[in-house]
Structure 1
Amino acid sequence: MALVIRVLLVDDDALVRAGLSMMLDGVGDIAVVAEAGDGREALTAADAHRPDVVLMDLQMPNVDGIAATGRLRARPRPPEVIVLTTFDTDENVLRALRAGAAGFLLKDTPPAQIAEAVARVAAGDPILSPAITRRLMARTVAQAGAYERARTALAALTPREHEVAVLVGSGDTNAEIATALAMNVTTVKSHVSSILTKLALDNRTQIALLAHDADLV
């Protein structure tokens, strides 16, 4: 029997939550286990329902989506977080990725793609492929000192880990990386885990941000 992906919806618009809930509950291996109207409620709901994935709005009262994402990701066995936003140029999206979000989606993303995104991040494969995500991550290169800091950090990796980090930054899945580097998926996962540990990062998205900072992709 396939495992059901437990989802927490966080948005201060009840209509948005209702629409997402109706859509996701129609997918066989996804179940919406709770909803929250702001980041503070999200933290409480996450404790009570232990979701696998949180769909997180950014602009909310009390505790906003960025702060809530950071607090969730700092917990033991944290859920994956996908940020939902209306504005593809919002600087807060990049801040949310740095807080540990696995990626982000625009609120007008087709339902099938939202469901696919939930399944992907639940499987440990953050959403790095949309063009808008790449554009936002690439903008960090312009930040003062980001290039040198990224290059210095990546210098701590072995040559093979460096190759894996670059491909993660390109948005490749574990299977695609395995094919490109002629190794098995288990070995790729081991390299990714080693990169995260060496660089004190939370997830693949942050590896990708570092690769973009270093101007490697």
Structure 2
Amino acid sequence: MAMKVFLVDDSLIIRQRLTRFLFNLGQVQIIGESAEAHDAIDRILKLRPDVVILDLQLLNGTGFDVLESIKKDKPAPTVIILTNFPYPEYRKKC
């Protein structure tokens, strides 16, 4: 059974590259993607992926907004944070 993954990143290029990379791994199904925080929250709660790959910088919000909302859902998906920000406080908040 394939692992269901949802991608959240404001960069179309990053989403495309992640999709290609994950496809090549096999046993991974990309069930959705979004560049916007509020859209991502709605779609993640509806689609219920196993894993969310989440950028912190998004359109109309932040990855923290998404993380806070989807972690309330039970069972919450596993979340992998991708970011270029080197700040220790971001790591702690995640």
Instruction: Kindly state the Cα deviation for residue 90 of structure 1 after the two structures are TM-superposed.
Output: 5.3
Conservation of the 8 A alpha-carbon contact between 1:66 and 1:92: no
1:58-73 aligned within 5 A: 58-73=56-71
CA deviations 1:39-82 (Å, max 9, x no partner) are 21111221332110000000113221012101101112211111
Map of 1:11 onto structure 2: 9
Q: Structure 1 segments of 4 or more deviating over 3 A?
A: none
Which of 48, 54, 57 aligns to 1:56? It is: 54
- 1:58-207 pair list within 5 angstroms: 58-89=56-87, 91-96=89-94
TM-score by length of 1: 0.41
| Percent pairwise identity | 30
Decide whether aligned partners of structure 1 residues 90 and 40 sit closer, same or farther in structure 2, where only a CA change above 3 A counts.
farther
Unaligned runs of 5+ in 1: 97-217
Per-residue Cα deviation, 1:131-184 (whole angstroms, up to 9, x for no partner):
xxxxxxxxxxxxxxxxxxxxxxxxxxxxxxxxxxxxxxxxxxxxxxxxxxxxxx
Q: Secondary structure at the match of 2:25?
A: coil
- CA shift, 1:93, in A, is 2.8
Residue in 2 that maps onto 1:212: none
Amino acid at match of 1:42: A
Partner amino acid, structure 2, of 1:69: L
- In 2: Cα distance, 1:27 partner to 1:66 partner: 28
1:9 partner SS: strand
**Which structure is richer in relative contact order (CA contacts within 8 A, separation 6 or more)?**
2
Larger relative strand fraction: 2
Matched, 1:34 2:22: no
- Structure 2 CA distance for aligned equivalents of residues 66 and 93 of structure 1: 11
Letter in 2 for 1:14: L
Query: 1:90/1:18 Cα in 2 relative to 1: closer, same or farther (>3 Å)?
Result: farther
Structure whose alpha-carbon radius of gyration is higher: 1
